[in-house]
Amino acid sequence: MPISPDSAAVTTTTARRGLTLPPWKGVKPIPLLISISIGLIFRFAVPRPHRVSAQGWQLLALFLTTIAGLILSPLPVGGWAFACLTLAVLTKTLTFSAAFSAFTNEVIWLIVCSFFLSRGFIKTGLGDRVAMLFVRWLGKNTLGLSYGLVLSEALISPAMPSTTARAGGIFLPIIKSLASSADSHPKDESSRKLGAYLVQSQLQASCNSSALFLTAAAQNLLCIKLAEGLGVKISSRWVTWLKVSCFPSIIALLATPIIVYKIYPPETKKTPDAPMMARRKMEEMGPMKSGEWVMLGTMLLMVALWVAGDSIGVASVVTAMVGLSLLLIFGVLEWDDCLSEKSAWDTLTWFGVLVGMATQLSSLGVISWMSDAVAAFLKSHSVNWSGAFFILQAAYFFIHYLFAGQTAHVAALYSAFLGMHLASKVPSLFAALALAYNTNLNGALTHYSSGQAAVYFGGGFVELRDAFKLGIIMAVINIVIWGLVGAAWWKILGLY
Per residue in 180-200, pLDDT tens?
999 999 998 999 999 999 999
Domain ranges of the chain: 29-97, 106-333+365-493
Residue 3 has pLDDT above 60, yes or no: no
Determine which helix (DSSP H) or strand (DSSP E) holds 165, and give its type and residue range. helix 163-166
Q: What is the DSSP letter of 264?
A: S
User: Within 13 Å of residue 412, how many CA atoms lie on the same side as its CB?
Assistant: 25
* Ramachandran area for residue 450 (φ above 0: left; ψ -120 to 50: alpha; else beta): beta
pLDDT category of residue 19 using cuts at 50, 70 and 90: low
Write out pLDDT tens, residues 217-276. 988 988 998 998 899 999 888 999 999 999 999 999 999 999 999 999 999 999 999 999
Which of 103, 203, 266, 177 shows the shortest CA–CA distance to 458? 203
Q: How many CB atoms lie within 10 A of CB 115?
A: 23
pLDDT category of residue 18 using cuts at 50, 70 and 90: low
157-166 average pLDDT score: 87
The pTM score is 0.85
Q: What is the DSSP letter of 270?
A: B
Write out pLDDT tens, residues 398-442. 999 988 788 888 988 899 999 999 999 999 999 999 999 999 999
With the CA atoms of 343, 345, 346 and 348 taken in that order, what torsion angle do they form, in degrees rounded to the nearest 10? 120
Write out pLDDT tens, residues 272-319. 999 999 999 999 999 999 999 999 999 999 999 988 887 888 888 899
Backbone torsions φ then ψ of 87, nearest 5 degrees: -65, -35
**Per residue in 165-186, is it b (16+ CB within 10 Å) or e — as a string?**
bbbbbbbbebbbebbeebebbb
pLDDT for 308: 87
The mean pLDDT value of the chain amounts to: 91
Q: Which residue has the higher pLDDT, 333 or 111?
A: 333
Write out pLDDT tens, residues 351-397. 888 888 888 988 898 988 988 888 888 888 889 999 999 999 999 99
237 contacts 245 by C-beta, under 8 angstroms: no
443-470 average pLDDT score: 93
pLDDT category of residue 17 using cuts at 50, 70 and 90: low
The angle formed by the CA atoms of residues 124, 127 and 132, to the nearest 5 degrees, is: 115
User: How far is it, in rounded angstroms, from Cα 455 to Cα 183?
Assistant: 21
pLDDT for 367: 85
Residues 6+ apart with CB under 8 A from 236: 310, 311
The angle formed by the CA atoms of residues 163, 167 and 171, to the nearest 5 degrees, is: 135
110-127 average pLDDT score: 89
pLDDT for 14: 45
Q: How many CB atoms lie within 10 A of CB 12?
A: 10
Q: What is the DSSP letter of 21?
A: P
Which SS3 state, helix, strand or coil, does residue 31 take? helix
pLDDT category of residue 90 using cuts at 50, 70 and 90: very high
User: How far is it, in rounded angstroms, from Cα 60 to Cα 56?
Assistant: 6
406 contacts 161 by C-beta, under 8 angstroms: no
User: How far is it, in rounded angstroms, from Cα 94 to Cα 92?
Assistant: 5
Residues 6+ apart with CB under 8 A from 264: 196, 197, 200, 466, 470
